[in-house]
Amino acid sequence: MSNGFIKLQRSAQELFENDTDAFLLLTQIAFRALRKNSKYNSQNLQPGQALIGDYKSIGLTEQRYRDTKYRLEYKYKLISFKGTNKGTVATILDTTIYDINCEEENEQDTSYSYATIGTTKERTKNEQTNEQENEQKQPLVASNLDTYEKLGTNKKTIEKFSENEKRTTKEEKKNKEKEITPLSPIKKKAKEPLPPDDTPISVREWVKITPNQQKTLIAKYGQSLTDVMLDILDAYNTSRQKHYASDYGTMKEGGWVHHKALEKLNQGKAGKEMKVVSNKELACDILKEFMIPKRLRVELLSDCVEFLVDGAMNGTYVSYNAFGFKDQLLNAIQKNGCVKKTALARCA
């Protein structure tokens, strides 16, 4: 190690008292920085540069070390840092605090190193470039033209900025004229209520059609047939506990509801009104046509027809609301051994 010295300026007292971490790191850099070029320099450092990174040796944590580097470089502008694969290279930019007494080969002024002089020149160029960029970004106004002239800004630059100011002012005026008031949130239009004749109503507990649709059914099929179709559809929807997408469409001519309604009506004489028969009455009429065995008990309950064989725990039930009630009833009668009376008369 060289026996040279470093000078601590009196201006260091303010940094030492107000930012101890920065003072410690700056001191470490000043002690390690090269004073002159050396052929034994394995890190290829220039005079005024030092290799750092062991922040724990001066009592700093990693976060404090990073914050301190930022302040030394950007706030105080005393040091510049550059990361390498061997560590962080610190370059002294200013001798306001420490002067490491750099030596130059040509014995010129030793207060600055080669690296410092080169870096300072680059820094000066960068500052001038940044100032020019800031001037370009900030439009000149009449109130500060004198100030720019005192700072040495040439006339071409002032004229250029004046033109930019005029252009910016015109654009601002155009933008203000074209200002569009913010659109108010779009409100969804409330659905207009349907006319009374087009609003579905419950004509049965589980059948909904509009008054116009009901009038159409009555005009097409007559009151009796319409009532039967409504009853059949109501019984079916009740068993499912849900409506069709269109109850009216289910009752169209040729559909199953229309077909079942015609079956349930007793055909009278031509020109006479048809008579509507309930499923319970239909079951009573059908059972009268059959001979019921003694071992079989048939009861017409309020909601179904029950077939119960003597000694059996469970019987057969046919609900009045069952789809295809007549077919299901006849099937149950045959399964339980009932014989039609006309068949017996023929045998006799």
How do residues 209-222 score in pLDDT, each as one tens digit? 998 888 888 888 88
51 backbone dihedrals φ, ψ, rounded to 5°: -100, 125
Per-residue pLDDT, 92? 92
49 backbone dihedrals φ, ψ, rounded to 5°: -115, 150
Of 265, 284, 283, the C-alpha closest to 275 is 265
339-340 and 290-291 as β-strands: parallel, antiparallel, unpaired? Answer: antiparallel
Please state the rounded mean pLDDT for residues 224-240.
89
Per-residue pLDDT, 220? 83
Please state the rounded mean pLDDT for residues 269-288.
70
Per-residue pLDDT, 110? 43
Please state the rounded mean pLDDT for residues 16-24.
91
Of 314, 277, 316, 309, the C-alpha closest to 292 is 309
Per-residue pLDDT, 194? 59
Phi-psi region of 249 (alpha: psi -120 to 50; beta: other; left: phi over 0): alpha
Identify the band that residue 223 occupies on the pLDDT scale cut at 50, 70 and 90.
confident
Mean pLDDT over each residue of the chain, to the nearest integer? 77
Please say if the pLDDT value at position 202 is more than 90: no
What pTM value is reported for the model? 0.32
Per-residue pLDDT, 302? 86
What does the angle CA 18 – CA 24 – CA 25 come to, to the nearest 5 degrees?
A: 115
Please say if the pLDDT value at position 168 is more than 60: yes
Most confident by average pLDDT, 19-23, 172-176, 334-338: 19-23
**Residues 323-340: tens digit of each pLDDT:** 788 888 998 898 888 888
Identify the band that residue 346 occupies on the pLDDT scale cut at 50, 70 and 90.
low
**Residues 103-122: tens digit of each pLDDT:** 755 544 444 444 554 555 55
Identify the band that residue 157 occupies on the pLDDT scale cut at 50, 70 and 90.
low
Please say if the pLDDT value at position 72 is more than 50: yes
* Alpha carbons 132 and 11: distance in angstroms, whole number: 31
CA atoms within 13 A on the CB side of 256: 6
Higher pLDDT, 35 or 178: 35
Most confident by average pLDDT, 13-17, 42-46, 167-171, 267-271: 13-17
145-159, 249-263, 319-333: the lowest-pLDDT one: 145-159
Per-residue pLDDT, 199? 86
Please state the rounded mean pLDDT for residues 162-187.
63
Please state the rounded mean pLDDT for residues 8-28.
90
Residue 123, both tokens? 């820094």
* Alpha carbons 114 and 276: distance in angstroms, whole number: 118
**Residues 74-85: tens digit of each pLDDT:** 999 999 999 888
Secondary structure in 3-state letters for the chain? CCCCCCEECCCHHHHHHHCHHHHHHHHHHHHHCCCCCCCCCCCCCCCCEEEECCHHHHCCCHHHHHHHHHHHHHHCCCEEEEEECCEEEEEECCCCCEECCCCCCCCCCCCCCHHHHHHHHHHHHHHHHHHHHHHHHCCCCHHHHHHHHHCCCCHHHHHHHHHHHHHHHHHHHHHHHCCCCCCCCCCCCCCCCCCHHHCCEEEECCEEECHHHHHHHHHHHCHHHHHHHHHHHHHHHHHHCCCCCCHHHHCCCCCHHHHHHHHHEECCCCCCCCEECCHHHHHHHHHHCEECCCCEEEEECCCEEEEEECCCCCCEEEECCCCCHHHHHHHHHHHCCCEEHHHHHHHC
Per-residue pLDDT, 136? 56
Please say if the pLDDT value at position 284 is more than 60: yes
